Amino acid sequence: MKKILFVFHDSKPKSGATASMLDIINNLLKKSDLQIFALIPNTKDGLYELLTNKNICVFEATLYGGRHPVPKGIKEFVKYKIRGVLKITTTYLSVLKISKKINQLDKKIDLVYSNTSDTYAGYFLSSLLKVKHVWHVREFGIEDQNCVHTLGDNQYYNWLSASEKIIVISKALKYKLSKYISNDKLMLVYDDVQLADCILKNNKSLGKPLKILSVGTISEGKGQKFVIDAIENLNKKGIECSLSIVGNINSEYAKNLFDYVEKNSINNISFLGFREDIEKVRLDYDIGIISSKAEAFGRVTIEGMATGLIMVASNTGANPELISDRVTGFLYKHNDLNSLLSVISYIYENRKDMQTIRENAIKFANKFDSGIASKKIYNLMKNL
């Protein structure tokens, strides 16, 4: 029996990368020839209980990310570097303690599997245990999250290259990494997405006003302000629509957005905060919008399609891999307000004719609920 230890970058079961990893693990647990372990941050956000309820042996430790936001000025640069180095050192020392505990197990771990490029813990652990390492990279970095590696990109790519295999979640991400990593090490695996059981109307008519939904981290890179400006322009043109934003509203950027809406008296904008019942929320909306600078995959896109939303996304990152324009959704030119206005205006004027696109999208989304990613990853693990 092969023993695999998964390393998580956070302990929030609903965060995108963690939810995607859990979808894969749920399928791997059905395999009788694998034994799964996990190393998670000790931040007590619910992942420990979820994993232990699945009879997974879980190690908790003080783990920090190895990245920081792009600094604005020399003061921020110095602050981020000092904090970052301290956090990485703390992570290494925590992993060192965990490695000693793991060495006391009856049988050694065969493979360490890191989820996201934000954590170096898996690299440290695999090196200490002298076992193989698979790294599942789910983000561009600067393009999608405005983050850079504290120790520099060269160091990150050197550590990444030490992995037996690097899994990427889109062609766009594979193309970026292929500039720095041997193509033989890269493996494209689109995420499994465990879709919620929703009762969809057979023929859903889009309403008036159009109800638009934005789901995800509220940050500059996700482009919510751009969509707010679009909603204001559309309503001024007589295209009736509203926007609801789902995501953590406690960040500084979220507060800035809220103040921007209030200060400029922009109507038809609501902030719903983080929602546990997001699948149910989606059923009340017409359009889902993805306005980020660059999506490395697009879990929110697939989930939106599956719940019957007409998905609208920028033509960047992995979005064109998931949305065939005017077939399974709509693409607009990134950061081009007129392009987005044109797309939503078209949907508004032709809202009675959106059923075919909706049906195409639901059919496409259901392909990601088949466990293909889990099968590919299982086969990889067995052959390493």
Query: What confidence category does residue 290 fall into, taking pLDDT thresholds of 50, 70 and 90?
Result: very high
Please tell me the distance from the alpha carbon of residue 70 to that of residue 66, in angstroms, as a whole number: 13
Q: Are residues 66 and 97 in the same domain?
A: yes
Does residue 342 lie in a domain region? yes
Q: Give me the amino acid identity at 54.
A: K
Nearest Cα neighbor of 113 from 11, 38, 14, 17 is 38
* pLDDT for residue 198: 66
DSSP state of 171: H
Q: CATH code at 323?
A: 3.40.50.2000
Asked if residue 139 and residue 218 are part of one domain, the reply reads no
pLDDT digits (tens, 9 = 90+) for 180-225: 999 999 999 999 888 877 666 666 777 789 999 999 889 888 899 9
DSSP label at residue 185: G
DSSP 278: H
202 part of a folded domain: no
Do 171 and 219 have their domain in common? no
**Secondary structure of 121-142 in HEC code, one letter for each residue:** HHHHHHHHHCCEEEEEECCCCH
Residue 203 inside a domain? The answer is no
| DSSP conformation class of 204 | P
Are 375 and 359 in the same domain? no
Same structural domain, 81 and 7: yes
In angstroms, the Cα distances linking 213 to 127, 278, 284, 304, 322 are 44, 11, 9, 9, 18
Closest by CA position to 220, among listed 256, 176, 262: 256
pLDDT in tens, 2-38: 999 999 999 999 888 999 999 999 999 999 999 999 9
Are 233 and 179 within one domain? no
pLDDT, one tens digit per residue, over 118-163 is 999 999 999 999 999 999 999 998 888 889 999 999 999 999 999 9
* pTM passes above 0.85: yes
Cβ(337)–Cβ(187) under 8 Å? no
Say if residue 160 is in the same domain as residue 12: yes
Asked whether residue 26 is domain-assigned, the answer is yes
Provide DSSP, 30-50: T-TTEEEEEEEESS-SSHHHH
Q: Is residue 18 part of a domain?
A: yes
Dig out the tokens for 151 from the structure: 């120790």
Q: Is residue 39 part of a domain?
A: yes
pLDDT tens-place string over residues 66-76:
999 999 999 99
Same domain? 260 vs 361: yes
Q: Are residues 229 and 328 in the same domain?
A: yes
Domain boundaries, position 144: 2-192+370-383
Closest among 245, 239, 249, 235 to 213, alpha carbons compared: 245
Residues 183 and 40 in one domain: yes
**Do 179 and 62 belong to one domain?**
yes
Residue 204 contacts residue 358 (beta carbons within 8 Å):
yes
Q: What is the count of structural domains for the chain?
A: 2
